Amino acid sequence: MSSTFVRDFLGCAAVNNAQLHGRPPVVVRVWSAPRRVAITVTDTGTGPTDPYAGLLPRPASPDGGLGLWMARTGNRWIRSSLAGRRRS
């Protein structure tokens, strides 16, 4: 799986989570530079009440429930993937 696919997927998942669970307005900001992209997604919701939300995957459910975990895990995967390419 390419880091580009993961980045695009996680960006879409973050926007979807903000629309489903947050409060408008949902703001997406993207910054880019050679070999770098930063994406932030914010809303005016209160956020999760569990301070550990997203640190471990939740059990499978029809609603999903993996968005925060995927964002945290995917971010680490992309960073380590890019770091490995620089060392090669």
Q: What is the pLDDT of residues 56-88, one digit of tens each?
A: 877 777 766 777 787 777 766 666 655 665 544
Bridge partners, residue 38, by sequence: 31
Specify the higher pLDDT residue, 72 or 47: 47
Helices (H), 1-88: 3-21, 67-87
Q: How many CB atoms lie within 10 A of CB 25?
A: 9
For 3-46, write each residue's pLDDT tens digit: 677 677 777 888 888 888 889 999 999 888 887 778 888 999 99
Q: Rounded to two decimals, what is the model's pTM?
A: 0.65
